[in-house]
Structure 1
Amino acid sequence: MERFFIWNERLGIELPFFEREWETYTAREREAILVRWEEIRGAIPDRVFAFERLINEKQAELFDEEDFETSCALNSDIADLASRINDLHIWYRINQEIEPRRHS
């Protein structure tokens, strides 16, 4: 069976992975893909919340941190987590029309 989703470690969710053009999938395959995507999409707010919690923890550490290099590392971690949240928001907005893409 063809894989339609692939795990994204950075975001902590599965993302669409199409080996063919969207139109070449059968109606049954497209329906299964959309059902699965809605399940994944429903978990995105929890992922965002988890990343926001980590940001808050790192901001609290940063507040008390006096070492410059450690402060820079914490800021970098916060920026990375914020970037993940942004990416999750983009994926969340992809409703039932998954962008057909060809992945190599």
Structure 2
Amino acid sequence: MDDLHWDALPAGARRAVDEHLAAGRHVYAIKAVRDASPDPPPGIRDCMDVITDRMAELGLLPNAPTPPPDPAAAAAAGGSREPRAAYGLTATALKKV
């Protein structure tokens, strides 16, 4: 995540923000960003942008599109190299449709 406000936070504050986000405490996460930021602290809108970016990075955004599975990773895990198989679209499954 390339964000000047996030990069300016100490490691402990970043952990606190992540813990608040994981628990669904978004207001506390924004407060943690503002309290730990150097003067002058970022505005609420900037903090919300930081929090939204961080939630996306942590996979915590509701209804966020999930990235497609990596065919190479599936093959390494013993799956098929066929991209259709990564989505469960095998020839048998396609015949049922």
What is the TM-score normalised by the length of structure 2?
A: 0.30
Instruction: Report which of the two has the higher share of strand.
Output: 1
**Relative contact order higher in (CA < 8 Å, ≥ 6 apart):** 1
